[in-house]
Amino acid sequence: MAVKVAFITVTLQHYRLSFYEKLSREKGFEIRVYHGVHQKNDGRPSYSGEVSFANEIFEEHKRQVGPFSVVENRGLMEKVRAFDPDIIVLPGIAGIVTNRRIASWAKRRQKKLIIWSCGWEPGRAKGLLLAMKNHMVSRMFRKGDCHLTYSTKASDYVESLGVAKGLITTCYNGIEIDDLLKNEKEIKQSAKKVREELKLDGKKTFIYVGGLIPEKRIDLLIAAFLQLRKKYDEIRLLIIGDGPERADMLKMLDAANDPNINWLGRIVDGVDAYFAAADCMVLPGIGGLALNQAMIWGKPCIVSEADGTEDDLVIDGKTGFRFRAHKQESLQDAMVRYISLSEEEKAVMSESAREIILTKSNTNKMVEEFLAAFRRLV
């Protein structure tokens, strides 16, 4: 009889589809994914197409209580009870009230509970409010039979909340690489066309790919780039993405009137050609998987504090450069460090960046870790 696994996630994202598909193909397990749907344009749209794995939609209701977002996933509790899973995988977000209820139900019914945590802390709560939040998160986390985390930083965070170290496994958040490797030649040919169309040859091209939301700090990147343009003629900036900050960003670009900055809108299918065409990825604010997607194409990355995965991926001077969060001058210095690299240094950094994704931060490794956790629990 197959082990039933209820996999609960905030929303269904295109970059997670192959992860769920591969888990669902594994014999001995019946996987069902429960997910919400984004109701507003926040730069991170939900996937809405057909999928090959069992899934059900719940209705998300959010309200703001002081600095906290409190979320109720209506109908989810009833759906999970009807499925009656042996294992439940919950996102480590205690602000989702339904998650806490499901965790309590799982303990009463002796279901095995895996809590999957990013470990990113937005920092809106301070002092007593932060202590209250950490207490609430700790109570939920201690109900987990197993914890899988995005990064080493997230593992340390979970342990700091009172979870035994032996229950925590770092499962590096990764991207699907099978199709990229299979189609590598074609993608590189497309990248060559991108370079020709955008006239990137002979230039040092920085790229940003992600949502246009305040936390991503696209304004910081544009300001830093414009400052560097006073000294460097040969640099370019490609911006790929959309979201609620688009209007403000376009005002900045109109005022700058710099032909060396190109906003290309949101690109999902075919975006790898742009990563491959660029020279260096810059993540000026929060984020994560864009680093992986750049590094599989051998692109060094510049980042400050993203979602915690940056500490495992972007090693200063080896796979990219780090800068102090929200500090324009520090970001400029990091970009200058890249501009100043010799071709030999770039080649070494490129190889190191790609190797990390191939060996430890990809969907295949994630699937291995999750299946190992399932088997330990049953």
CA atoms of 265 and 16, how far apart (whole Å): 22
Q: Are residues 206 and 146 in the same domain?
A: no
* Pair (200, 169) in one structural domain: no
| 3-class state of residue 170 by DSSP | strand
Give me the domain span that covers residue 306. Answer: 177-360
Looking at the fold, whether 295 and 368 belong to one and the same domain comes out as: no
Give the domain CATH number at 127.
3.40.50.2000
Query: 369 and 286, same structural domain?
Result: no
The residue with tokens 């895996």 is 114
Per-residue pLDDT of the chain (378 residues; tens, 9 = 90+): 899 999 999 999 888 999 999 999 999 999 999 998 866 555 566 787 889 999 999 988 888 777 667 788 989 999 999 999 999 999 998 788 899 999 999 999 999 999 999 876 655 656 777 777 778 888 999 999 999 999 999 999 999 999 999 999 999 999 999 999 999 999 999 999 999 999 999 999 999 999 999 999 999 999 999 999 999 999 999 999 999 999 999 999 999 999 999 999 999 889 999 999 999 999 999 988 999 999 999 999 999 998 889 999 999 999 999 999 999 999 999 999 999 999 999 999 999 999 999 999 999 999 999 999 999 999
Distance CA 159, CA 142 (A): 10
Whether residue 79 is found in the same domain as residue 141? yes
The SS3 assignment for 141 reads: helix
Do 305 and 163 share a domain, yes or no? no
Would you give the DSSP letter of residue 150?
S
What is the model's pTM? 0.89
Round to whole Å and give the CA distance between 203 and 236.
7
> Do 144 and 239 reside in the same domain of the chain?
no
Shared domain for 151 and 300, answered yes or no, is no
131 and 185 housed in the same domain: no
Question: How many Cβ atoms are within 10 Å of 105's Cβ, its own excluded?
Answer: 16
| 81 lies in the same domain as 195 | no
Let me know whether 161 and 182 are in one domain: no
**Domain identity same for 152 and 269:** no
Answer for the pair 304, 324: CB distance below 8 angstroms, yes or no.
Answer: yes
- What secondary structure does DSSP assign to 73-138, as a single string? EETHHHHHHHH--SEEEEES-TTBHHHHHHHHHHHHTT-EEEEEE---------HHHHHHHHHHHH
Q: How many domains does the chain have?
A: 2
Dihedral sign computed on CA atoms, order 312, 318, 324, 328: negative
